Amino acid sequence: MAKDMTLLWGSGSPPCWRVMIALEEKGLQGYNSKQLSFEKGEHKGKDVLAINPRGQLPAFKHGNITLNESYGACLYLEEQFKNQGNKLTPENKAEVALMYQRMFEGLSLFDKIRQSLFYDRFVPENERHDSAKKRNAEGLKDEIKIWEGYLQVSKTSCKNLLVFVITFYFFLNEEHFPKLAAYHNTVKDRPSVKNTWPSNWKDSPGMDTLKNL
């Protein structure tokens, strides 16, 4: 039981989900969990700001230790609970390198998703351009092709779990991206994933806009 841990999170946030999956995989159930609403702006409320001055979710504490960056929280949890639950990181040096490489590349993917899918949320109306939207959509498609290519040449396994939540974010056209779809299908039935599935996505696992890529 992880009574000394607190996680403030929002449904539909890949970084929040990433930490929740890591906690499940490490057998760290029973933490203080509080779901907040992005729509109501609760991520800018004082509970969050007390832990995360950026006013972002997740906001995570283990005792007096704060770790709001989701990948950082995953790496920390693996190091502190090495012999508990499932191992999140590989042993072999080539696989360690690949994990780090893909983890940081995952941030590029996340950034491209944000730029394309949430363009209207982040760009004020008078600054929007169709040319930018088109370029961002192409950038995202190219990025997804890179990941599809990676999966052509490497086995998918639990070792990739740290990256997983981001690929999960899609509801891609399976014919266009068969390797990503296969990866999605491999991981989606893990108990850690099923137990933490965002309520926002109970009916649909992702973004239908991506079906056309």
Give the amino acid at 91.
E
Q: Bridge partners of 170?
A: 207
CB-CB contact of 78 with 87 (8 Å): yes
Cα–Cα distance measured from residue 44 to residue 106, given in angstroms and rounded to the nearest whole number: 26
Contacts of 179 (CB under 8 A, 6+ apart): 148, 151, 152
User: Which among 29, 2, 22, 20 is positioned nearest to 78, based on CA atoms?
Assistant: 22
- Smallest separation, CB 185 to a second copy (Å): 25
CB 205 within 8 A of CB 132: no
- 155-194 residues in contact with a second copy (CB under 8 A) are none
Contact pick of 1, 39, 64, 202 for a second copy (by CB under 8 A): 64
Q: Does 71 bind a second copy (CB under 8 A)?
A: yes
Candidate residues 72, 84, 120, 188; the one interacting with a second copy per rule CB under 8 A: 72
Residues in the chain: 213
How far is residue 62's CA from residue 122's CA, in Å, rounded to a whole number? 32
Total of residues contacting a second copy (CB under 8 A): 37
User: How many CB atoms are closer than 10 A to CB 189?
Assistant: 8
Of residues 126 and 204, the one with the C-beta less far from a second copy: 126
By beta-carbon proximity to a second copy, the closer residue of 37 and 108 is: 108
* Residue 199 within binding range of a second copy, rule CB under 8 A: no
- Taking residues 120 to 159 in sequence order and writing x for each that binds a second copy by CB under 8 A, - otherwise, the string is ----x-xx-x-xx-------------x--x----------
Contact 147, 183 (CB under 8 A): no
Shortest approach of a second copy to residue 43 CB, angstroms?
Answer: 15
**Which residue in 62, 112, 159, 184 binds a second copy (CB under 8 A)?**
62
Does 53 bind a second copy (CB under 8 A)? Our answer is yes
Q: Decide if residue 209 touches a second copy (CB under 8 A).
A: no
- Cα 15 to Cα 71: distance, rounded to the nearest angstrom: 8
Which residues contact a second copy (rule: CB under 8 A)? 53-54, 62, 64-73, 75-76, 79-80, 93-94, 96-97, 100-101, 103-105, 107-108, 111, 124, 126-127, 129, 131-132, 146, 149
